[in-house]
Structure 1
């Protein structure tokens, strides 16, 4: 395309000097030359850009480098393959003491049907760090979990396909039965960080042992 325009431009310049077509004047040849020159200026950048793209792609092929647009697609695909974390994070500040408590909370995939007056309940795992230290808790909205500080009570925990572990637990300091505290919180936290799936089995008052399944992948906790 550029070569054709160049020939037309040169022919128009010759016509300005000595018109060789009877029907065209020097002024008309000059108009053709100007118009052709403008078209040449438009075509040149496009040609350079196409050449640059070809050179860039050739260089990528020679060096084994993946083009940036393909790298972005590959990165996006990798993120899509990773399961999204279901953990929820929050914090609150103690204005009097100037300390901040951090929380990571996860709700179970399943519900269990407890007898009246409790009904269907989901389990919750809560990791908390405040000025008193680290706590890992298991709880339900309504129900009586059989854990206390004065008896040797345990909650069974299974991380992925590992063995069932019996974890000592204790009740809340206010005497409520909806929440149980793991006494070996560091051990439980280590398991939660590594496991993609965790099953917790706790005994409830007059309800027997109930199991709750959690997708624990992606816990971010320091």
Structure 2
């Protein structure tokens, strides 16, 4: 039916430009074209609902098939971020135009150092600066780490299931007692980058040796 009205519409359009029926004027053909156009719209077949649903399902399927590439990349990136407990930061010395880089991980356990320090976390920090080069720093929130160069201080370190190693350590130049610089930095860093877990045991004032465990997998350090 709609095809018939479409044919009449086209025939009327031709008559508007060149009347071909005796007694018909252009406006007659124009009126016929308008009426035919309305009837074409009324009698045009409606889209099949099943076809529409099939088309929508197909489009959704194509979208879903295309999505995993980006989704998998984001999921993989998130998984890598979750695997690593390292926090990275930088500080800039505007006067000297130098940048110091840090990577720090917090201990998985806490240790009670008693009054006045209480329960504390341990921190393992990798630092790179132009003046002092590479530094490995073991620190706590509060407390006194007994690690001085004049007393042959050291910390015991266990990388994963490797044998326990001793690393000499020294205190901070400003006298801060809550941190210690671990020496033989390059060797320590090489083992650290390959490790998943590190245990550091240090001696504390009036508390003896205490151990802090660090989840160290995923260190990104050049």
TM-score greater than 0.5 by the shorter chain: yes
Distance verdict in 2 for CA 1:73–1:96, change over 3 Å: closer
- 1:31-42 equivalences under 5 Å are 31-34=38-41
Counterpart residue number, 1:112: 111
Q: Which residue matches 1:147?
A: 147
Aligned length: 193
Corresponding residue of 2:72: 74
Unaligned runs of 5+ in 1: 1-7, 18-25, 58-65
Aligned to 1:195: 195
The correspondence of residues 127-146 of structure 1 with structure 2, limited to 5 A, is 127-131=126-130, 132-146=132-146
2: distance between equivalents of 1:108 and 1:124?
6
Q: Which shows bigger deviation, 103-112 or 28-37? A: 28-37
Instruction: Give 5+ residue unaligned stretches, structure 2.
Output: 12-31
- Deviation track 1:77-128 (CA, whole Å, cap 9, x = no partner) reads 4344433432222222223333222222222121111132221111111111
Q: Deviations over 1:53-78 (max 9, x none)?
A: 68x96xxxxxxxx9421223333443
- What residue number does 1:180 align with? 180
SS of the equivalent of 1:190 reads helix
CA RMSD of aligned residues (A): 3.4
Counterpart of 1:5 in structure 2 is: none
Query: For the residues of structure 2 that align with 1:196 and 1:218, how far apart are their CA atoms?
Result: 8
Alpha-carbon spacing, 1:73–1:140, altered in 2? closer, same or farther (3 Å): same
Secondary structure at the residue paired with 1:137?
A: strand
C-alpha separation in 2, matches of 1:198 and 1:192: 8
Cα drift, residue 136 of structure 1: 0.6
Greater CA drift, 70-79 or 188-197: 70-79
**Bigger radius of gyration among the two:** 2
- 2:69 alignment partner, SS class: helix
Aligned to 1:88: 87
Aligned partner of 2:29 in structure 1 is none
In 1, Cα distance between the equivalents of 2:206 and 2:197? 28
Q: 1:74 to 1:103 in 2, by over 3 A?
A: closer
Q: 2:36 & 2:136 partners in 1: Cα distance?
A: 89
State the distance in 2 between where 1:146 and 1:174 align. 15
